[in-house]
Amino acid sequence: MSQPTQRICILGGGFGGLYTALRLSELPWTRSQQPEIVLIDKSDRFLFSPLLYELVSGEMQTWEIAPPFEEILAGTGIRFERATATDIDLQSQAIYCEEAPALNYDYLVLAMGGKTPVDLVPGAREHAIPFRSLSDAYRLQERLRLLEQSDREFIRVAVVGGGYSGVEVACKLADRLGDRGRFRIIDRGSEILRQSAEFNRKTAQAALEARHIWLDLDTEIENITADSIALGFKNQVDTIPVDLVLWTVGTKVSDAIKNLDLEHHQSGQIAIAPTLQTTQRPEIFALGDLAACHDINQQQVPPTAQAAIQQADYCAWNLWATIANRPLLPFRYQPLGEMMALGIQNATVSGLGMQFDGTLGHLARRAAYLYRLPTLKHRLTVGFNWVTQPILELLSQ
């Protein structure tokens, strides 16, 4: 008698979830062990977030950085459910969603990423725009369009956070606004890009200086209103007029994850073993930004797309190994370097013994991301567009 098909549910179709689903569909399943793979996401599109800056600078379009799941999953056998998960019953192994009936699972992959906390300062929720999702980018686009069409001489932008996102978005927007832009980056630390490679930090500092982006370091934000931001520096508070505040700091897990009866790290992330299984429930795997992970070498795994993609390979393999009764592999993280966009057609890249900046950095970053896009078909379509677009632009002049 054949065994009933087992169901693997993957919650969240970002770098961790989507790439796990795609790897799972490529593994050598026997006919009797082939599981049903269900990918659940609240959005209808995968977002390649490292390229979100290119959307607001006008260098790329939505279809390039955020292809629909239906398109990515066509022909893979993976079932896609567009739904927002609100609760998981660990006893009955059921997922509850806002827009869909409950779904039972035999194996579950938690990959819902993180959220930007915009409630850390009075007025931030109402007046600051976070920069994480496609809808954040659209909201920013709309605000910029209105400001650009207005008759104001200058557009004053305050970017909260001097980490990767803050620096990258400031440089891209400074290039978009040109002479009209007046930028400041605010950070409570004494330097920007504290985690960054030295070459990239120095290149980024030069890029900020070239764009006259002011740095407010050792500075706390007291509150934000529709047209001002109050900054605390050395026991003194200055209220500065602004037209746009971007919020790029912090990350937290969703309530659905926080409330799960699983072991959590103090950050709220789910504790996992090096096999990426949750510490109390081996049938549940977790990866990406919502998981607190140390790899086999006790290396702390950073909350990056690079790490989530690497984890996805192990997660898929370990699910296959669990079902096929094979030994599981402990995750081994390989830092491959880091890349940062520093304005339009400008980037810095440092890793694997190589360092590039300027146009070369931009081309290296583009090539690396092209290689990382989720499917060969999408890579070819986007790559073809990147090659032909400049030629078409030249011909139309």
Question: Which CB sits closer to ligand FAD, 223 or 251?
Answer: 251
Q: What kind and span of H or E run contains 155?
A: strand 155-160
Measured distance CA(225)–CA(172) in Å, rounded = 24
In the complex, which residue's CB is closest to ligand FAD?
Answer: 14
Q: Which tokens sit at 182?
A: 């007046």
- Candidates 313, 305, 276, 311; CA nearest to 372 is 305
Angle, alpha carbons 178-181-183 (nearest 5°): 125
Q: How far is the CB of 287 from ligand FAD (least distance, A)?
A: 7
Distance CA 117, CA 160 (A): 12
Which is nearer to ligand FAD, 127 or 365 (by Cβ)?
365
CB of 54 to ligand FAD, least distance (A): 10
Minimum gap (Å) between residue 25 Cβ and ligand FAD: 17
Contact residues toward ligand FAD (CB under 6 A) are 11-17, 40-43, 49-50, 52, 84-85, 111-113, 131-132, 165, 254, 256, 288-290, 303-306, 308, 339
Q: How far is the CB of 84 from ligand FAD (least distance, A)?
A: 4
| Selection from 310, 306, 308, 302 nearest residue 329 by Cα | 310
Backbone angles phi, psi at 223, to 5 degrees: -165, 165
Rounded Cα distance between 147 and 20, Å, is 41
Element holding 108 (H helix, E strand) = strand 107-110
> Nearest approach, Cβ of 31 to ligand FAD (angstroms)?
30
* Least distance from ligand FAD to the Cβ atom of residue 133, Å: 7
Residue whose CB is less far from ligand FAD, 65 or 231 = 65
Q: Which is nearer to ligand FAD, 52 or 319 (by Cβ)?
A: 52
